[in-house]
Amino acid sequence: MSQRQVLEQTDVVAIVRLDDYSLAVEMVKSLAAGGIVATEFTYTNPAAGTAIAAVKQALGNDVLVGAGTVLDPETARAAILQGADFLVTPVVSVPTIELARRYSIPTVIGAFTPTEILTAWQAGATFVKVFPASAVGPGYLKDVRGPLPQVRLIPTGGVNLQNAGDFIRAGASAIAVGSNLVDAKSVRDQDWATLTERATQFVAAVKAAR
């Protein structure tokens, strides 16, 4: 399957936003063991490109590795050259969408209002990331999907085990989870069993809600 097809079938996207990406391969392995095959490393840490390259070299096409917090096409191009399978933005960046489409790389484009969501979709986003989802909750996705049922939405920000199922039942295509899944202490302690267990729980919550 293509990167896009795999991403479209993904239930949970893991977001890694840490100060230390040196254990990137171990993180992704532990998440994959729990059923999460898509992980993004955010460019708030300049080592994101190195982490992406390391994971792709170690695990190849067994996983999808994304570049997160991509603000412009220059960062997007650099991430693609490092092996990024998909790109994630916090805001609507049409130039980034255009570059990704040029290279057939799927995108998860951040938006909040209905106008932003439709703008991202019309520009060619593979998914629209509703961010920050914690500010509006699952009901907002249901309301947006009323007039925009064709848009694939991924809530991000504040997604946890308690509300994951609610977001799916409200119409989310998948969920994206950050520190509630990959936290600094577990990684620092190399507690991979905990990451795998959390991944298993999030995947199970999504499947149950479907």
List C-alpha distances in Å: 121 to 107, 152, 153: 10, 9, 10
- What's this model's pTM, rounded to 2 decimal places? 0.97
Catalytic residue among 40, 56, 142, 207: 40
CA geometry: angle 37, 158, 176, nearest 5 deg: 20
Instruction: Please tell me the number of Cα atoms within 13 Å of 100 on its side-chain side.
Output: 32
pLDDT at 170: 97
Q: How is domain 3-209 classified at the CATH fold level?
A: TIM Barrel (3.20.20)
Domain regions of the chain by residue span: 3-209
Measured CA to CA, the distance from residue 208 to residue 196 in angstroms comes to 18
Residues 171-176 have a mean pLDDT of 98
98 noted as active-site residue:
no
56 noted as active-site residue:
no
Q: Would the pLDDT of 2 be above 90?
A: no
Q: Would the pLDDT of 65 be above 90?
A: yes
pLDDT at 1: 82
Residues 159-172 have a mean pLDDT of 98
Catalytic residue among 8, 26, 29, 129: 129
pLDDT tens, position by position, 84-119: 999 999 999 999 999 999 999 999 999 999 999 999
CA geometry: angle 198, 202, 207, nearest 5 deg: 145
Residues 162-176 have a mean pLDDT of 98
- The percent of residues in the chain predicted with pLDDT above 90, rounded, is 96
Mean pLDDT of the chain: 97
44: three-class secondary structure by DSSP: coil
Residues 147-168 have a mean pLDDT of 98
Instruction: Please tell me the number of Cα atoms within 13 Å of 73 on its side-chain side.
Output: 10
